[in-house]
Copies of this chain bind each other. A is one copy, B any other.
Amino acid sequence: MNNRQVRLKGRPQGIPQAEHFEIVEAAVPEPGEGQVLVRNIYLSVDPAMRGWIVDKVGYSAPVAIGEVMRSFASGRVELSHHPDFAVGDLVTGMFGWQDYAVVDGKAIQRKISELDLPLSTSLGVLGLNGITAYFGLLEIGQPKSGETLVVSTAAGAVGSCVGQIGKTLGCRTVGIAGGVNKKRLCLDEFGFDAAIDYKSEEVDAALAKACPDGVDVYFDNTAGPISDAVLKHLRLGARVAICGTASIASWDPIPQGPRVERHLLVKRARMQGFVVFDFAQRYDEARTKLAEWLRNGTIKYREEILEGIETAPDAIAGLYRGENLGKRLIQLASADA
């Protein structure tokens, strides 16, 4: 039983590229007392992962050179020395980019209970993407019925969910995405009332047209020029929820942009950053609601599933090239028992 692992080989400046990883074969250790052996079925590929390997104080200690790349994954228990988990259980957690993970029972995020839904959703809509959308929109954006909600990276795993939750709440939803295909996805699949392709359209003018009353809530996954344009359209009392900064290649040194203070002052507006981990005590609440929305068709999702661990090293870079349509996953084994 060989374990292929994707290890961090070098520390990138900015976006991690294929050259910063290497695939290595290693033995699978024997699980000890209280430990569980998990065979990974899906590995997650998330924009936030670039932050996990930057040698800077961030949310957590960076992945060390030579270490398996940290990632969320979902898989099946193959061996268990922990009373809470049995062989065959589907589980999700920080299992890393590898075929097999030996982890402490308490390191398993949860046993998957939505067995009627595809396992892949545990890393997307029912994973941190959906939960991020849920708390970021409801707790930080605080949209009200009739308000205008603008979302950047609107065709992405988080953005698409934000738009659909906003729509359910009675908002006018406007999605910003890169490319004709993503724009179409926003309109046809995720039900945005309007969509803007920032690659082919002049965002400022398109926003003026799409948001005639201004922007009440901006769910921001990008920072950069898209945000600069949205800020000009804020309405009195607007809320900006800062979820990610996809358009900024590097924060060292901090890039320059138009100052925000006057927009915030004149519009009595608020910009607020959040990290989903702050809501860890409330994940079940979000997941229950999201699963309900999935089952009744309120929320649709799109996935792009890469086949095989060989696709991993270039997978984060691909996200930042904007090449994926939907939540990016890597499949290592069959989800069927």
Asked whether B259 lies within 8 Å of A256 as measured between CB atoms, the reply is: yes
Flag whether A83 is at the interface (Cβ < 8 A): no
Set of chain B residues within 8 Å of A254, measured between Cβ atoms: 258-259, 262
Asked whether B258 lies within 8 Å of A264 as measured between CB atoms, the reply is: no
- State A278–B274 Cα separation when bound (angstroms): 26
Flag whether A142 is at the interface (Cβ < 8 A): no
Query: Given contacts A227-B261, A259-B223, A261-B248, is CB(A278)–CB(B273) below 8 Å?
Result: no
Set of chain B residues within 8 Å of A220, measured between Cβ atoms: 261
Residue of B58, B242, B261, B262 touching A264 (CB-CB under 8 A): B242
Asked whether A58 lies within 8 Å of B266 as measured between CB atoms, the reply is: yes
| Copies of chain A in the complex | 2
- State A267–B266 Cα separation when bound (angstroms): 24
Report A220-267 residues with CB < 8 Å from chain B CB.
Answer: 220, 223, 227, 242-245, 248, 251, 254-267
- State A175–B216 Cα separation when bound (angstroms): 34
A-B contact pairs, 7 of them (CB 8 A): A223-B262, A227-B261, A254-B262, A256-B259, A257-B259, A268-B274, A268-B275
Report A257-299 residues with CB < 8 Å from chain B CB.
Answer: 257-275, 278
Q: How far is the CB of A250 from chain B (nearest CB, A)?
A: 10
A184-228 vs B: 1/0 string, CB under 8 Å?
000000000000000000000000000000000000100100010
Set of chain B residues within 8 Å of A267, measured between Cβ atoms: 273
Query: Given contacts A255-B258, A256-B259, is CB(A266)–CB(B223) below 8 Å?
Result: no
When C-beta atoms are compared, the residue in chain B nearest to A232 turns out to be: B254
Asked whether A245 lies within 8 Å of B262 as measured between CB atoms, the reply is: yes
- State A260–B258 Cα separation when bound (angstroms): 10
- State A19–B264 Cα separation when bound (angstroms): 31
Q: How far is the CB of A315 from chain B (nearest CB, A)?
A: 23
Set of chain B residues within 8 Å of A258, measured between Cβ atoms: 254-257
Residue of B255, B262, B264, B273 touching A266 (CB-CB under 8 A): B273
Q: Which of A257, A258, A259, A266 has the most chain B CB atoms inside 10 A of its CB? A: A259
When C-beta atoms are compared, the residue in chain B nearest to A267 turns out to be: B273
Set of chain B residues within 8 Å of A223, measured between Cβ atoms: 259, 261-262
Residue of B242, B265, B270 touching A261 (CB-CB under 8 A): B242
Contacts A223-B262, A248-B259, A269-B272 known; 18 new A-B pairs at CB < 8 A: A58-B266, A220-B261, A223-B259, A227-B261, A243-B265, A245-B265, A251-B262, A257-B258, A261-B271, A263-B273, A264-B271, A264-B273, A265-B275, A268-B275, A270-B272, A271-B271, A271-B272, A272-B272
